[in-house]
Amino acid sequence: MKIGYFPGCSAEGTALEYGQSIKTCAELLQIELVELEDWNCCGASSGHSTDEMLACALPARNIAIAEKMDLPITVCCAACYLRFKTVEYELKQDQQYREKIAKLLEMPLEIKYSTQHFLELIYHQIGLEQIKKQVKKPLHGLKTACYYGCYLVRPAKVTQFDNPENPMLLDEFMSALGATAIDFPAKVDCCSGSLAFTRVEMGKNMIAQIHQAALDAGANCIVAACPLCQANLDTRAPRNGLPTIYFSELLALAMGYEDTKSWWKRHIVRPNKLLQSLNLI
């Protein structure tokens, strides 16, 4: 399988371990990620609050590049995902606006593909049964609070990812890896986004509530699919907070990838002790 890959800014910087684990999983699953040529920032989080045309043009240029390469797009960041999906939705609804954006970009723009999050891609195009066959080290003992956050599931008519109030895609995915997906009531609560940096106390309180909900539910870790969510839940975790692990790190681990040491040391609340206690590393 060949697909256009938009890494976004975080996967090659602050969330390097996420980007590396995504590429590792792709190799193990025989997915050829073809990085978009000369890609640009999707505009999250400030672009769409600054200028409407800019907010549309930034993701649209990447979409046009993928169309030129004749490849659908996968992304690993939920914020990037929402920006791409929003632009695809808007430009499919308004041909005149699409033509205006294409003229601005000086690039053809058809919106012939639908962007998928990498988790979504694996779930729908590889399938859980195939994933189960490739599990070499089942994640037994791992009790996961699967955290979706806002951007993957809302607005539902735009993302069409899963049930916006009680999504189960990531839960089912973790179960396929041998983990126990805990019934977690805060799975779509906001991680506070940029409030973690602009209104610190409010952000810390929102993050603490998510950790407490996971602890109360009996989880021993939180699983995320977004670098911003992971960063907030990890760097602002309360003293009794749980490790927040990327789904791709756990997928690679379950499929027998052993060179994970460099990933764990990039976490603030490191999952090493938990994973060692379960004989997973």
**Both tokens assigned to 277:** 């206690």
Say if 103 falls within a structural domain: yes
Answer yes or no: do 8 and 100 share one domain.
Answer: yes
Say if 232 falls within a structural domain: yes
180: domain CATH number is 3.40.50.11810
Last residue of a domain, one of 52, 85, 117: 117
Say if 147 falls within a structural domain: yes
7: domain CATH number is 1.20.1050.140
Answer yes or no: do 42 and 152 share one domain.
Answer: no
At 194-227, the pLDDT tens digits run 888 889 999 999 999 999 999 999 999 999 999 9
Domain that holds residue 43: 2-117
Answer yes or no: do 14 and 91 share one domain.
Answer: yes
Q: How many domains does the chain have?
A: 2
Say if 128 falls within a structural domain: no
Instruction: Report whether pLDDT(46) > 80.
Output: no
Answer yes or no: do 106 and 175 share one domain.
Answer: no
Say if 131 falls within a structural domain: no
Q: pLDDT band at residue 22, thresholds of 50, 70 and 90?
A: very high
Answer yes or no: do 249 and 197 share one domain.
Answer: yes
Q: 35-49, 127-141, 225-239: which range is least confident on average? A: 35-49
User: How far apart (Å, rounded) are the C-alpha atoms in residues 81 and 116?
Assistant: 7
5 forms beta bridges with: 35, 74
Q: What sections of the chain are H helices per DSSP? A: 16-28, 52-68, 78-93, 95-105, 118-121, 128-134, 156-159, 169-176, 195-198, 200-217, 227-235, 247-254, 261-264, 272-277
Answer yes or no: do 67 and 110 share one domain.
Answer: yes
Instruction: Report whether pLDDT(2) > 90.
Output: yes
Say if 123 falls within a structural domain: no
Nearest-Å Rg of the Cα atoms of the chain is 18
What's this model's pTM, rounded to 2 decimal places?
0.97
**Both tokens assigned to 116:** 């998928």
User: How far apart (Å, rounded) are the C-alpha atoms in residues 63 and 69?
Assistant: 10
The per-residue pLDDT of the chain, averaged, comes to: 96
